[in-house]
Chain A
C-alpha cells in the first residue's frame, strides 16, 4: 500500500498547458457581453431573451445570507466566455495535440476506449470533440454538447431548458442563465436503455475563467441512462468561479443515474444548482464525490412528482486544507408512495469545514411516503470543523421519516488494532477512512473510485503522525 502512495503521479492532478484561445471576451459582465456571447453562438432570439431576462434577475437578487463567506468572489474579475482554439470534431485524430495532451494526462482516451459509450469533452467552455457510438445514434439517443443542441434540436431544448431550474431560483442560477456556455445535452427516447455510462470530462484552464456549463438530461418513459461527469482542474493563484446548472427530467418508469466526481483546484468557487423532476415509477440516483474547490455550495434536489417515484442521494465530501464544503441534498415528496434515501459522508482536515445542509419535505397528500436521511462526518484533526443542518418538514401523517447524523474521529482502538496487525499508521488510517466511506464508494464507477482511493491515501500520508 505504501508503494501505491509513492506511485501517484502528482502531476496528474496539477498541471496546466499554455493558453491558446481564439476568442476571450473582456472581464466583467454587461448586457453588451451577453449579446456578444449570444451572437458568437448564433443563437435563436428566445435564447437571447432568456439570457437578458436572467441577467436582470441576477442584478436584482441578493447574495445568499447564509453559509460560507463569498465576499472574495468578485463578479467583475471574471471572464464570462472563452472559445477554445479548436473546431468541433468527431474524430480523435483531429483534436489539437496540446488539448490532447491535457486529456492524455487525465486518462480520457483510455477511459473512452475501455468502456465508454460516447464522450463529449468540454475543454474550457465548449465541446471540443464529440463521439457517439453508432448503436445509440440509431436508437435515437442524442448525446451532444449543449450549444450544438440549441442549433440542431431547438424545439426540444426550448421545451425543457431552464424549466426545472428557472433563472430566478437563486442568484447563481440567474447568472448561469445569462452567461451559460457548453455542457451536455442527453436525450433518451422511450424505452431505450443505455447500458454503458455516458461520460464527459470538464476542464477549466484559463485563469479567472467562469465556467457555466448547462447539462440537460431528458429520459423519456421507460428509458435508462447513467451519466458520468468528472472534473479536474489545475491550480491557479486567484479565485475562479464555476456555476453549472444540471436539469434532469426522469419521465414515467425511467431510471437516471447521475454520477459526478469533482476535483477542482483549491481556488475555485463551485456554486451549482442541480435538480431532477421524477415522474411516476421513475428512479433518480445521484452519486457524487466532491474533492476539490475552495468553496462549494451544492444541494442536488429531487422533486418526487409522480406516484412511486424514488430518489437516492449518495455523496462524499472532502473538506481539505482551508476549504469549505457546504453541500447536501433536497428531497421533496409530492406524491403518494414516494421514497427517498440520502447518505452523506464527509471528511474534514487541515482547517477544512464540512457542512451538511439539507431538506427533506413530505407534503400533505404524499401518502405513505418514506424518507431516510443519514449524515456521517469524520473530523481528522483539531482545527477542522463539521456542521450539520438538516431541515425536516413532515406534513403527512402516514409518512415515515428518519434522520440520523453522527460526528466523530478515527478511534484510537481501531487504529491500534490495525497497527498491531502490521500496518503503518497512515495505511491504517486510510483503511479506516475507506471503510467509513464504503457505502458511497462502492456506488462510484471503478475508475473514479480507484482515483479516489489513491487520493485518500495521499491525503492520509500528508496528515502526519497524529490524528
Chain B
C-alpha cells in the first residue's frame, strides 16, 4: 500500500478482499468526497473563520494503524472490522454508515472510502458486559494518512463499556489521523463510551463519533482530548426512539500551538428524549479552542430536555477560546438551555489554598483537577480514570509559573 497518494484506485486496492457491497459503499463515499467542498461544511459559510480545514495536508501515503484489543468474551463479539466483514456480513452491511453518514462531511466521506482498520463490537440481546473492551490505537512511526473505523452494535437490552485510547509513536513527522466511531444502541441498550485522544502534537486529527438511539436506549459519551496539532472532533447523537438519553461529557487540555474544533450535536426527533452535554477545557500557551454545541429539537419532539454547558479556563495571555453554542427549536413543549463561560484561574482561590500551606503549583493543580472532576468523577473504572488523570497531570507539568 506504499507510495500511493489519494486516488480512486486506492479504494479498489483497500477493498481487494472485501465483499462487493463493501466496495460499493466505499466507492459511493469516494464520490461524495470528491464532489463535496470544504466550504459546504457545517453551519455557516463563516465556519472557516475559526478553523480552516483546507489546511489539512492530505498529500501523504496511506498507512495502517495498529490496534490492540483487550476484552473478556462473556458472549459478546469483539474483533477487527476487516475480519468481521467476512464473518458477519449481513450485520455489518445493514448498520455500517448509518450512524456516521458519509454525506454529512467531506472528511467523513473520505474515512468511509478509505478505512483500513477498525473495531467491530456486537453485544447480543440482554447480554451485559461490564468489564470494558479496550482498544489501543497507535499510528505508525512515519508521516501518513491513517483511517480507522469502529462499529459498535448493542442489541436490545444489552449493556457494554468501550474504551479507546489513541496514540502516535513519538515522531516529528506529521500524520493525518482520521477515525470514525459508530454506535447503534437498540431498544433499552446502554453503551458507555470512553475516548482518550493523545495523538502527536504535530498531527492533524479528524474524529467523527455518531450514535443512534432506539427507544429507551442510552449512550454516555466521555471524551478526553489532549493531542493533535489541529484536532477536529464531531459528535452526533440521533434520537430515534422515545425515552432515549445521552450524556456527553468531555475535557480538553491544549497547550503550545494546539488548535481544537469540537462540536457536539443532539438531534431530537421524537418525544421524551434527554440530553446533557458538559464540557470543560483548559487552554495554555498559544492554544485555540472552538466549541460548537448544537441542540436541535425537531417538530413533534415534545417533552425534550436538553442542556449544554461549556466552561473554559485560560492560563495564558495568548490562548483563544471561541464558543458557538446554538439552539434550534421547532416545537414548544420542551426544556432547552445552554451556557458557556470563559475565565481565568481565580487568584482568591489560589490564595486561599496557599494560606492552607500548599505551594502555588500544588494549589493550581488542585483547582484545575477540581475543574476537570465533572468528567473524571463519572468514570467508574479506575484504570481508565487513571489514564485521564495522568494525561492531565502530564499537560500540567509543562506549565510555567
Contacts and interface: CB of A to CB of B under 8 A. Distances in A.
Q: Do A and B bind each other?
A: yes
Nearest to B318: A364
A154 to B, nearest CB: 39
A407 B336 contact: yes
B343 A66 contact: no
Contacts of A383: 299
B299 A403 contact: no
Given A391-B322, A392-B342, A397 B317 contact: yes
A399 B321 CA distance: 11
A435 interface: no
B353 interface: no
A409 B340 CA distance: 22
Contact of A402 (B319, B333, B341): B341
Contacts of A396: 314, 317
A159 interface: no
A395 interface: yes
Interface string B33-59: 000000000011110000000000000
Contact of A394 (B314, B329, B330): B314
A408 interface: yes
A405 interface: yes
A393 B339 contact: no
Given A392-B342, A398-B344, A403 B323 contact: yes
Contact of A66 (B45, B321, B331): B45
Interface in A379-431: 379-409
A384 B340 contact: no
Interface residues of B, number: 38
Nearest to A378: B332
B22 interface: no
A404 B310 CA distance: 10
A230 interface: no
B337 A407 contact: yes
B154 interface: no
Contact of B341 (A377, A395, A403, A405): A403
Contact of A404 (B300, B324, B337): B337
B320 A393 contact: yes
Interface residues of A, number: 36
Interface string A445-467: 00000000000000000000001
Contacts of A401: 340-343
B327 interface: yes
A389 B44 CA distance: 11
Contacts of B333: 382, 409
Contact of B331 (A377, A379, A392, A393): A379
B104 interface: no
A115 to B, nearest CB: 39
A387 to B, nearest CB: 5
Contacts of B321: 392-395
Contact of B324 (A389, A397, A407): A389
Contact of A379 (B326, B329, B339): B329
A295 to B, nearest CB: 18
B323 A404 contact: no
A405 B342 contact: no
Nearest to B319: A397
Contacts of A65: 44-45
B322 A393 contact: yes
Contacts of A377: 327, 329
A408 B45 contact: no
Interface string A3-40: 00000000000000000000000000000000000000
Contacts of A393: 320-322
A380 B332 contact: yes
A395 B312 CA distance: 12
Nearest to A379: B332
Contacts of A391: 322, 324
B216 interface: no
A35 B398 CA distance: 65
Main secondary structure on chain A at its contact with chain B? strand
Contacts of B43: 389
A394 B316 CA distance: 12
Contacts of B312: 394
B45 A407 contact: no
A387 B323 CA distance: 16
B339 A404 contact: yes
Nearest to A398: B344
Interface in B188-206: none
B332 A388 contact: no
A402 B338 CA distance: 11
Given A382-B299, A387-B327, A394-B312, A404 B338 contact: yes
B336 A406 contact: yes
A419 to B, nearest CB: 18
B332 A394 contact: no
A122 B93 CA distance: 68
A41 to B, nearest CB: 38
Interface in B204-259: none
B203 to A, nearest CB: 25
Contacts of B299: 382-383
Nearest to A395: B320
B339 A403 contact: yes
A407 B327 contact: yes
A408 B334 CA distance: 6
Given A380-B332, A399-B342, A400-B343, A386 B327 contact: yes
Contacts of A384: 332
Contacts of B325: 388, 390, 392, 403, 405
B66 interface: no
Contacts of B344: 397-400
A406 B337 CA distance: 4
Most buried by A among B318, B327, B334: B327
Most buried by A among B44, B321, B322: B321
Given A382-B332, A382-B333, A406-B336, A392 B322 contact: yes
A409 B299 CA distance: 14
A28 B283 CA distance: 53
B373 interface: no
B8 interface: no
Contacts of A387: 326-329
Given A66-B44, A400-B344, 20 more contacts: A379-B331, A379-B332, A379-B334, A385-B329, A388-B326, A390-B323, A391-B322, A391-B324, A392-B325, A393-B320, A394-B323, A397-B317, A398-B317, A401-B340, A403-B338, A403-B339, A405-B327, A405-B338, A409-B332, A409-B334
27 contacts: A65-B44, A364-B317, A377-B327, A377-B329, A379-B331, A379-B334, A384-B332, A385-B329, A386-B329, A387-B328, A388-B327, A390-B324, A392-B322, A392-B324, A392-B340, A393-B321, A396-B314, A401-B340, A401-B341, A403-B341, A404-B338, A406-B335, A406-B337, A407-B335, A407-B336, A408-B335, A409-B334
Top 7 closest A-B pairs, CB basis?
A406-B337, A397-B314, A379-B332, A404-B339, A388-B327, A392-B323, A401-B342
